[in-house]
Structures are given as C-alpha cells and as structure tokens.
Amino acid sequence: MSGAGSGKCPEERSHAWSGEGPQGVCAMHELHLCQMDALYGVSQVLSRSLDYRETIQAVLRILDEAAGLCRGLVSVVEPDGSLLVQAVHGVDPEQFASVRYQAGEGIIGFAMEKSRTIVLARVGDDPRFVNKMGVYDPELPFIAVPIKVAGSLKGVLAVQPGREDDALLEEKARFLEMVANLIGQSLGLSLQVEQEKRSLLEERDLLRRTVRHQHGFDSIVGRSAVMRRVFDQVRLVAKWNTTVLIRGETGTGKELIANAIHYNSPRARGPLVKLNCAALPENLLESELFGHERGAFTGAVGSRKGRFEQADGGTLFLDEIGEISPAFQAKLLRVLQEGEFERVGGSRSIKVDVRIIAATHRDLETAVDMGDFREDLFYRLNVMPLYLPPLRERLEDIPDICRHLLAKVGNVQKRKLCITDAALRRLANYDWPGNVRELENCLERAAVLSEDGRIDVDLIRFPGRERVPPRPSPPPAATAVRLDDPHLSERERVIAALEQAGWVQAKAARLLNMTPRQIAYRIQTLNIEVKQF
C-alpha cells in the first residue's frame, strides 16, 4: 500500500499530535498529512474486494499503522437489531466470534442507539464502559463513530488513540467519520451483493428442486407391469454414465424418460442439452453438434460452441438418432469412441465429458441389415436399451394418465378439470396410434370445449381417425352397456341407449321405456350432442 506507513511512526509523532508547545500548528499539519496518507490506504483497500470482512480487517490495520488509532473495532447491525463484532485489530477472531452489543449497551451500543459520534478523553471514567473483550485500556481516550449507508445505521467503528493526554480528539473523530463513510459505502455494496448472491443461490436451488420434480419419475405416469419394469430400469441406469438408447413409437414419452435419467443421475447439476437430429439438414447438423470456427462457412462471423461443448459435464439427448445419414454417422461414432472432436473449420481437438442418451422410433436392426445405419454405431448406442410400450399395450394406465394430463391442462386454464367414467371407457376403446401425445391433444381439445370443466363422453373426439359406419348395428350383448346398471348416471344411460340404437331417438326411447318427447327433453337438458349419420 503506497504511503500507508510512510513518515514517522505513531510513537515518534505522539508528542506532536498532542498539540503542546509552540509547534501546535505543525502538529495539526502533520496530523492532517497522516490522515490523508491513511485515507489513501483505506480507499485502496476498500476498492480491492467486495468481501467486507476481509477489507475491514485491513482498514483497521491501516488506522493503527498510519494514524496511530489502535484497537480498532467494527461491529455490524444484525437482522435482530443487535451489533455483532466483525473485526478487532490485533485480537484473535475466536475472542470476539460471538460478541454482541444491544442498543444502549456499553459505549458502542450507546453510539448505535443515539446514531452519533462519541468522544471520551478517558474511557475508564465513563460508567457505560463495559470492555466485553478486555482489549481496551481504561486510561486512554475512546472514539466510537456510527457507520451509515444512505442515512441508515449499519454498524459502529470504534478506536483508541495511543496517548492519554490527546488534545486532538475532535480532529481525529472527524477523520474517523470520513473513514466510517468510506466503510459504509463499501459495506452497503458488499451487503447488497451478498444478499443478491444469497437470493440467486436460493432461486437456483428452488429451480433445481422444481426441475427435478417436474422431470423426475413423478412426471411419468403408469402402474402397469410393463411400465414398472421401465421405471426399474431407469432407476438402475440413472446412477451410471452408461449410454442409453430409448426406443418406442412416436408419442410414447421418450423425452420424459431422458429427463428422468438426467435429473436422477450424478450429472443432475450439469446441463441437459437436447437436439432433434431429424429437424436439421446434415450440413447444419454438424455445425450444431460440433460448433464452428470463424469463417468456416458463409455467415460464420464468429466462433460458436456446439451442443457437445454445451453439454460438457452433463447429458446430451439426441432425439431421432435413426434419421442421420451414414456419412454423418461416421463423424458421430468418433466422438462417442474418443470423446473428442474438431469444430467445423477448426483443427484443434476438443475433449468433452458428456453422457449420451439417444432415442428413435425406427427399427434400427432392420436399418443395419439394409445398410442405412452403421452396425458399429448401433452397438455403441445400444449399450443400455430401454423400450417404451405404446399406449394400446398399457390401457390400464389411461385413467391415471388422463388425471395427470388434466391437472396439467387445468393449471394452464386456471380451473379444475374432471373426467367421467363414460369418457374414460371411450378413451380405453381407442387404439391410440399417436400414443400419449395424441391422448394429451384429445384431452386438451375436450377441455376447451367444456364450459364447466367436466369432460364427458360427448366431448371425446378423434378428428381424422374415427371412422363411423353409416348405420352401426347395436353391439353384441356381451359387450353392450347394461342400461339397468345402477352405477350409470342418467346421462350415461341415455348416451348408452342412443349408441345401442344407432342414435335413432325413437328406438332409444323404447329401450329406456320413454316416449320420443321424453328422450328429446333428456337430450336437451343433459346437453348431449346428437350424432348425425
């Protein structure tokens, strides 16, 4: 620190500071020079770091060495209103680790309570002197100055001048007020940064918990035996860095499984980077995965990291891996084998630590036999295969999936949605070529059409998929709904009769022992949509 300890030492200057003799004016001048020297050193220290605990300790050392103000102490106001001692020059931190002053307690607490500077010629004469840490000399003067930030009290700075008969206490008190202002500005900024950092850490942890909950096993619904086997496999493979190949038809939830593997793995704190390989042409796919250097191609105005570099330390999810060309398969194989690659237009090898999760709906074995997919890449990806069954093979999961999806749609629409048993039966009788994705779209469409949030069978529609014969015959007795079933609601009973009667109202009325006028009234009051053939 330039100039902080220059000139005479405090002991050599002590007589001059006293202001005695004909050289009193010179003593004042020398004091000001020392104080300017100390202020310069304090400002340098405070500008180096935002860690106020570290900088305050250095400030107290400068006050001692450059200005002769020893036993410096800084205490900071805590959320409960007490003063916690943060630093004492020349004292082992263990001696003041838990020392606190309440408002009005001792001279330091009194300075906090009154929010003004306290100057004492002999501290031992003041009845408020408590000397909690036993470091202050009762025979020496004492100065306590409040530390303020924008008019708000944040702490107290206290020191002891080194002579008993100090005649320049007021000058030193004004100097300490300047130092306290500098400390206050640094302390205010440090506390603000510390609070923002704490808030960001809390927000990060909350987001991590939220993401882990949203993308964990709770987001994958299914109690069927086939899905329980999938869950068991996911829990086992998530613990390791093994490459995973998720297979299944479109819409079965392959991305959900990839999320669950990542967020339940040791890499959960790292990034999860996703890329749909079918969404990009081969020339863009290489740049997207490996990145490029400046000038590598037209429009490459700067270097850019690819998905592999972005996923370093985490997981890379390659969806629709079966759609990449044989030429690009060779480039991908090298990365999987060696863990290194070059950017497009670059010559430097880049090593990455990435876990690969791939997914496809294609029959890769057939693609290998036909020469469309490299056999060595297939074996590199197929270390741990996971097969997701189509929805038609786990129809018993439909009620649980529907309730989960309706809760999700209900959160978006800001209302509670429910579904009837008749609607669930209708959903269970469909073959679901689009799997869970089609089911979600079907339920969202039904929710939009529902005015009261109740989804009944008449709102379940399959546009472009459902083929209804011109005049359907009643279902066989073995599969027809029994109209005298006590568990059926009136609406379900009327709809069942209409379906068995081919939506001919007069025929349905006879099945229910009603008149045509009565069933027409029921259709109107129960808000049943009549199908026209």
Q: What is the pLDDT of residue 389?
A: 92
Q: Are residues 229 and 375 in the same domain?
A: yes
* Tally of structural domains, the chain: 4
Q: Point out the domain boundary residue: 417, 438, 467.
A: 467
Whether residue 493 is predicted with pLDDT greater than 90 in this model: the reply is: no
The CATH code of the domain that includes 110 is 3.30.450.40
Q: Tell me whether residue 201 is in a domain.
A: no
Q: Point out the domain boundary residue: 389, 415, 447.
A: 389
Q: Which among 470, 474, 467, 458 is positioned nearest to 507, based on CA atoms?
A: 474
Say which DSSP state 467 is in: -
Q: Are residues 184 and 229 in the same domain?
A: no
Contact 273, 458 (CB under 8 A): no
Residues 6+ apart with CB under 8 A from 104: 110, 112, 113
Contact 344, 290 (CB under 8 A): yes
Average pLDDT score over the chain: 83
User: Which two structure tokens, joined as six digits, stand for 7?
Assistant: 């000139």
Q: Tell me whether residue 100 is in a domain.
A: yes
Contact 37, 65 (CB under 8 A): no
Q: Which among 257, 254, 256, 263 is positioned nearest to 211, based on CA atoms?
A: 263
Residues 6+ apart with CB under 8 A from 232: none
Q: What is the pTM of this model?
A: 0.56
Q: Tell me whether residue 58 is in a domain.
A: yes
- Specify the residue for token string 């619904």: 221
Residue 44 to residue 37: CA distance in whole angstroms: 11
Which residues face 419 on adjacent strands?
Answer: 455
Q: Are residues 100 and 144 in the same domain?
A: yes
Q: Tell me whether residue 50 is in a domain.
A: yes
Q: What is the pLDDT of residues 332-355, one digit of tens each?
A: 998 898 888 888 888 888 999 999
Q: Are residues 120 and 243 in the same domain?
A: no
Q: Are residues 532 and 443 in the same domain?
A: no
User: Which two structure tokens, joined as six digits, stand for 117?
Assistant: 């500077």
List of E strands, 167-251: 244-248
Residue 499 to residue 429: CA distance in whole angstroms: 14
Mean pLDDT of 440-451: 93
Whether residue 469 is predicted with pLDDT greater than 70 in this model: the reply is: no
Judged by average pLDDT, the poorest of 2-11, 29-38, 305-314, 398-407 is 2-11
384-388 and 244-248 as β-strands: parallel, antiparallel, unpaired?
A: parallel
519-524: long-range contacts, CB 8 A cutoff, minimum separation 24:
519/494, 522/490, 522/494, 523/494, 523/498
Question: Which range of residues forms the domain containing residue 407?
Answer: 391-467
User: Which two structure tokens, joined as six digits, stand for 387?
Assistant: 């097969």
Q: Tell me whether residue 116 is in a domain.
A: yes
Mean pLDDT of 409-425: 93
Q: Are residues 48 and 95 in the same domain?
A: yes
